[in-house]
Amino acid sequence: MNERAIQLDDTVGIEISIATLSTLIAGIYCTVSHIDPIAIPSSIYIEIAEKIVPYLENWDYDRMSFEDWVEKELLIIPKVFCSDEDIEEMKKNEVFLERENGRAILIVTFGV
The per-residue pLDDT for range 56-94, each reduced to its tens digit, is 989 998 999 999 999 999 999 999 999 999 999 999 999
- Rounded to the nearest angstrom, the gap between the alpha carbon of residue 41 and the centroid of all alpha carbons in its chain is 13
* Rounded Cα–Cα distance for residues 78 and 3 (Å): 49
Long-range contacts of 98-104 (CB under 8 A, 24+ apart): 99/41, 99/43, 99/44, 99/47, 101/40, 101/41, 101/44, 104/78, 104/79, 104/80
Q: Is the pTM of this model over 0.85?
A: yes
* Rounded Cα–Cα distance for residues 51 and 21 (Å): 11
